[in-house]
Amino acid sequence: MLPRRTTRQIHVGAVPVGGGAPIAIQSMTSTYTHDVDATVRQIRQLAEAGCDIVRVAVPDKRDTAALPAILEQSPVPIVADVHFHFQRALESVEAGVHKIRLNPGNISDRKQVDRVIAACRDRGIPIRVGVNEGSVVERKDKDVRAAQQAGIATDRRSELIRLMVEAVEGYVRLFDENDFHDVVLSAKSIDAGMVIDAYRAIADRFDLPLHLGLTHAGPPETGRIRSIAALGSLLAMGIGDTIRISYAADPVLEVEDAKELLCSLGLRNRVEPELIACPTCGRIEIDLIKLVAEVRQKLASIKTPVKVAVMGCVVNGPGEAEGADVAVFAGKGRGIIYVQGEQKRTVDEADMLDALYEESVAFAERVERGEVKLSQHNVNIVPPDPLPRKDGSIPLPVANA
């Protein structure tokens, strides 16, 4: 992990972005914004999942008309997503949104863009401006478009990155000319490698905070791989100040995966249990996949970052689970439960889930009372006796719960 890149800091409502502030998680509602009840309900779901900032689409005047009611009920700052109609941006500013997402390239009249910037400057509202791979090629000037397409045909990635960076540079000049500096930049593509290269180029040129993301990443099954490949790489380089993982699915999944990414890189502290499990192999003598799914569901009720390990055997399990606060090592029909390295009890397979949950809850309660501390990865686990038989089976001790 490289040190975080130094940037200016802006504020989206009460949430600082850049300037060393914690990396903020964003998502976007999938509701029609003019449906206030549905939109507020989803904003609250996203906030409960850990989202710091929520964006809403405002393509119509009825959407901006709904903003005051939404803002009044929202537990997190709200960003208005504006693309083609500068008037929607002005209406959003008047409503009191905390940030504007603007695409100046889609607004042909420079005076209209200047009006939006002036309105945001007067209200202290930041603007995110960015480019997408699909929108950087010239659409109106046929000669310019032909030249760009010829370059793309020769070296698609390099030419598109050049065009993306060139577009961002033009936008930054526009803001500088308006003496406006509360700006966040983004440069998105579906191609993870292109996203990495584009953001690196932008990070080298500007000290403005960066919003990381991929565009049209797809469903979670494939989109999370594409997103984590790009965003994880950039974050490990110290690049990025706020992120959105985008899926064609429930946006709550975006927030959950963004949190896991940041926690995995040590960029955000966990506030809920962490579940680890061994990969399946031929030594497993229980339905490990089913058990892990059930444990994950049960742990959702715990609000302490207890580290819980579910291991399918007692051969490699103890070593792989070191650092876990609570762990179970399962053999045929039975499992041994450890709490911070101490063997607590052996239970039948039918009781394994409830016993592991009980020990996890009890440990979390002790942490909350200040009686014990979380492991911080320094728990050593001594393998249980007796050792495996020659045929690999484990003669687990008699249950003593």
- CATH of residue 151's domain is 3.20.20.20
Shared domain for 108 and 140, answered yes or no, is yes
pLDDT at 391 over 90: no
Q: How far apart are CA 142 and CA 124, in angstroms?
A: 39
- pLDDT score for 138: 75
Residue 181 maps to a domain: yes
Domain end position, chosen among 264, 296, 321: 264
Shared domain for 304 and 256, answered yes or no, is no
Least confident of 176-185, 308-317, 347-356: 308-317
Higher pLDDT, 183 or 286: 183
- pLDDT score for 145: 80
pLDDT at 153 over 90: no
Residue 226 maps to a domain: yes
Domain end position, chosen among 264, 296, 323: 264
Q: Express each pLDDT in 323-375 by its tens digit.
A: 899 999 888 888 889 999 888 888 998 999 999 999 999 999 999 999 999 98
Q: What is the pLDDT averaged over residues 247-271?
A: 95
Arithmetic mean of pLDDT over the chain? 90
- pLDDT score for 393: 55
pLDDT at 83 over 90: no
- pLDDT score for 284: 83
Domain end position, chosen among 200, 232, 264: 264
In this structure, what are the phi and psi dihedrals at residue 311, rounded to the nearest 5 degrees?
Answer: -120, 140
Q: What is the pLDDT averaged over residues 379-395?
A: 57
CA distances to 60, 92, 93, 255 from 68, in Å:
15, 9, 11, 25
Shared domain for 254 and 122, answered yes or no, is yes
Least confident of 67-71, 97-101, 281-285: 281-285
pLDDT at 314 over 50: yes
Q: Which residues contact 222 (CB under 8 A, 6 or more apart)?
A: none
Shared domain for 36 and 173, answered yes or no, is yes
Residue 62 maps to a domain: yes
Higher pLDDT, 139 or 41: 41
Provide the token pair at 77.
């700052």
Shared domain for 246 and 280, answered yes or no, is no
Q: Report whether 44 contacts 50 (CB < 8 A).
A: no
Q: Report whether 101 contacts 74 (CB < 8 A).
A: no
Range of the domain at 85: 9-264
pLDDT at 398 over 50: no
Q: What is the pLDDT averaged over residues 106-112?
A: 79
Q: What is the pLDDT averaged over residues 93-110?
A: 87
Q: How far apart are CA 257 and CA 100, in angstroms?
A: 25
pLDDT at 281 over 90: no
Residue 385 maps to a domain: no
- pLDDT score for 14: 97
CA-closest candidate to residue 308, choices 323, 293, 319: 323
- pLDDT score for 315: 67
- pLDDT score for 400: 46
Shared domain for 297 and 348, answered yes or no, is yes
Q: Which residue has the tokens 């006796």?
A: 385
Residue 269 maps to a domain: no
Shared domain for 141 and 187, answered yes or no, is yes
Shared domain for 259 and 303, answered yes or no, is no
CATH of the domain at 294: 3.30.413.10
Q: What is the pLDDT averaged over residues 46-66?
A: 97
Shared domain for 220 and 281, answered yes or no, is no
Domains held by the chain: number: 2
Confidence band of 401 (pLDDT split at 50, 70, 90): very low
Confidence band of 383 (pLDDT split at 50, 70, 90): low
CA distances to 78, 119, 147 from 100, in Å:
9, 11, 33
- pLDDT score for 302: 95
pLDDT at 316 over 80: no
Confidence band of 320 (pLDDT split at 50, 70, 90): confident
pLDDT at 397 over 60: no
Residue 376 maps to a domain: no
pLDDT at 234 over 60: yes
Shared domain for 170 and 283, answered yes or no, is no
Confidence band of 385 (pLDDT split at 50, 70, 90): low
Shared domain for 14 and 145, answered yes or no, is yes
| Nearest-5° Cα angle at 249, 246 to 252 | 75
Residue 63 maps to a domain: yes
Residue 23 maps to a domain: yes
Instruction: Please give the share of the chain, as a percent, with pLDDT higher than 90.
Output: 67
Q: What is the pLDDT averaged over residues 312-316?
A: 73
Q: What is the pLDDT averaged over residues 200-226?
A: 93
Q: How far apart are CA 157 and CA 264, in angstroms?
A: 30
Shared domain for 52 and 187, answered yes or no, is yes
